[in-house]
Amino acid sequence: MTRTLLVAPQQRGAYATLSDAFAAATAGSTVLVTPGTYHEALFVVDISLRVAVTDDSGPVELDARGLPYPALSVRSGELAVEGLTIRAGDHSAIVSQRSNVSVKQCELSTNYGAALDIRDRSRCDAHRAKVTGGQFGFVFEDSGGLVQDCELTDIVDDGIIVRLGADPEIRATTISRCRRGIYVYQFGKPTVEGCEISYTGDVGVAVAHKSTPVLRHCSIHDTQGVGIQFGRGCGGEVDACRLENNQPPGIEIADGADVKVTKAASRSSHAVRGPEAGKHDEKAVESLLAELDAMVGLAGVKDQVRGLIDEIQVNEWRRGAGLAVEQASHHLIFAGAPGTGKTTVARIYGRLLAALGVLPSGVFREVSRRDLVGQYLGHTAEKTAEAFEKAAGGVLFIDEAYTLSRAGSRSDFGQESIDTLVKLMEDHRDSVAVIAAGYTDEMEDFLSTNPGLASRFSKTIEFENYQPDELVLIINRMARGADYEFSPDVEPLLREHFGRIQRDANFGNAREARRLFEAVRKAQAQRLRGLTQRPSIDDLRRLAAADLTLAIS
């Protein structure tokens, strides 16, 4: 006999949290949840459950941001989720291993993981799910299922990934404003039918490593790369697909690929258009600002980014009132030591500009000197322009930009790249935001290399070194994210260690914390390996003071 469990924090006799209800549930139970926000991470192991909202009087939000786990982890079980809003932080929203998962009418978002991470011979059926934000949308690895009538947008990398022989059916789904719409590799064999893919920073559908997808009746348009790309050794079918405003030739098939193409219409041009230009998504703006606020430290950076957003908002109101608005540049300098979050903030800033309707998309393209500088006369301008075009509609992030002005020899072409950037930044300031990052002193030298370069950037934002308490918080987050925890006596030792480190030009900030964490893990492994018996789960998770002492020494 199945049970129904009610989660209602304010109601006597009901469960106060979803975790409490999950712990009391038996196989086949239904957990009904009243409206509200639940700051929890949930686990379903070896059991079958259904989770749904009680009514439509308000949203039910499962918010795992700030927690070191996915919002929902399913292992060797079955889970049906209906009508929830699910948010995660540094992990995926839903992870499935050897399980069956059903997601219906849910809204999913995460900072850096995937909205759905389906792996290890799992099956996932997703119907009318909406994904906004995240490093990836859906990831199918050695798994299958059905994606039907879903919407994925504002994804940092790939909208849907299909790999390791995975074979999902993807139908009537829209994917937009991401790096690649669908990436199929390592023997992936999905069926993609009736889908729309648009405004990608690269290829619409990329196929590699002996994969064999079937694409039918799809519309792929306004991509920065070709519409569909098949690599060597791949196969599959493209039937009755419409490709418009993509890079020529529309469908690119490498030598050695065996692809059947029937009734596919391709019309390419070089124009870049934005979806619903000027549309302001207030909900997305607030969510992104909350993501920014959740970062450790960076108080001054956060204030300056908020100031930029406030200015954009006021300009929008002035424009709506018929008042004069000055033409604004969204190009920025991020100056400071490494490991201070410059890349992460740049990603959030780009997505904010897209949510405000300032840029057509949240595409983020990170480049360095080797991506911009060529080896012969004229090659550099071509490479720089190509990188700029691939970032169209979003952010071009130039890491260690000062290296462009460091001539390694008489034949160095870094200056040519800078001169090309100056012109492109002015000609396309409404469609691309350029963020140049590097050490403070070196960036001042960089800005002096071209008379017009400094004027192209509207602001310099200084990223300060993290303080010892902030580095302790960062390394604790790293540990929790990897399913470890420090013993209580470790924190004072960490604070003392970070306080002793010399903050010179070689100080790596969060990278320093990452290096120390990896060293502590190795020290723990060495200690546990020397035990006379198998360690317990607590032993495996705990990082002791002795481990830190050995790592530091």
Query: Do you know the residue count of the chain?
Result: 553
pLDDT at 43 over 90: yes
Maximum Cα–Cα distance across the chain: 81
pLDDT in tens, 439-460: 888 888 888 887 778 888 878 8
What is the per-residue pLDDT for 411?
A: 46
Q: Between residues 497 and 192, which one has the greater pLDDT?
A: 192
In this structure, how many other beta carbons lie within 10 angstroms of the beta carbon of residue 263? 11
- pLDDT band at residue 377 under the 50/70/90 scheme: low
How far apart are the C-alpha atoms of 235 and 188, rounded to whole Å? Answer: 10
Average pLDDT over residues 40-52: 95
- Least confident interval from 48-52, 208-212, 341-345, 430-434: 430-434
Indicate the class that CATH gives domain 468-552: mainly alpha
What is the per-residue pLDDT for 317?
A: 79
Mean pLDDT of the chain: 86
Residue 194: exposure state from Cβ atoms within 10 A (0-12, 13-18, ≥19): middle
Assess contact for 466 and 510: CB atoms under 8 A.
yes
What is the per-residue pLDDT for 310?
A: 85
Q: Between residues 96 and 438, which one has the greater pLDDT?
A: 96
What is the per-residue pLDDT for 436?
A: 87
Listed in sequence order, the residues at least 6 apart from 1 whose beta carbon sits closer than 8 Å to its beta carbon are none
- According to DSSP, the residues that pair with 63 across neighbouring strands are 87
- pLDDT band at residue 319 under the 50/70/90 scheme: confident
Q: pTM of the prediction?
A: 0.56
DSSP-derived letter for residue 66 is: T
pLDDT in tens, 263-311: 776 655 433 333 344 456 777 788 888 888 888 888 888 888 888 888 8
- pLDDT band at residue 140 under the 50/70/90 scheme: very high
What is the per-residue pLDDT for 304?
A: 87
How far apart are the C-alpha atoms of 113 and 134, rounded to whole Å? Answer: 6
pLDDT at 130 over 80: yes
Does the domain made of 282-463 have the CATH classification 3.40.50.300? yes
Q: How many CA atoms lie within 13 A of 419 on its CB side?
A: 8
CA distances in angstroms from 425 to 254, 321, 398, 429, 451, listed in the order given: 34, 29, 13, 5, 14
What is the per-residue pLDDT for 551?
A: 86
Assess contact for 305 and 474: CB atoms under 8 A.
no
pLDDT in tens, 53-90: 998 778 999 999 989 899 999 999 999 999 999 999 88
What is the per-residue pLDDT for 187?
A: 95
Phi-psi map region of 515: left, alpha, beta (phi>0 left; psi -120 to 50 alpha): alpha
- Least confident interval from 91-105, 200-214, 275-289, 454-468: 275-289
What is the per-residue pLDDT for 294?
A: 81
Angle separating helix axes 342-355 and 299-320, nearest 10 degrees: 20
- According to DSSP, the residues that pair with 460 across neighbouring strands are 333
Q: Structural domain boundaries of the chain?
A: 1-121, 157-271, 282-463, 468-552
| DSSP code per residue over 81-146 | EES-EEE-SSS-SEEEES-EEEEES-EEE-SSSEEEEEESS-EEEEES-EEESSSEEEEEES-EEE
**Percent of the residues in the chain that have a pLDDT greater than 70, as a whole number:** 93
**Cis, bond preceding 248 (omega within 30 deg of 0):** no
Assess contact for 278 and 325: CB atoms under 8 A.
no
Assess contact for 277 and 254: CB atoms under 8 A.
no
What is the per-residue pLDDT for 504?
A: 66
Checking 282-289 for CB contacts under 8 A at 24+ apart, the result is 284/132, 284/133, 284/154, 284/351, 284/355, 285/309, 285/352, 285/355, 285/356, 287/109, 287/132, 287/133, 288/133, 288/348, 288/351, 288/352, 288/355, 289/352
235-239 sheet: strands from edge to edge: 4-7, 29-33, 48-53, 78-82, 100-104, 123-127, 144-148, 169-171, 191-193, 214-216, 235-239, 258-262
Chain position carrying tokens 């963020």: 435
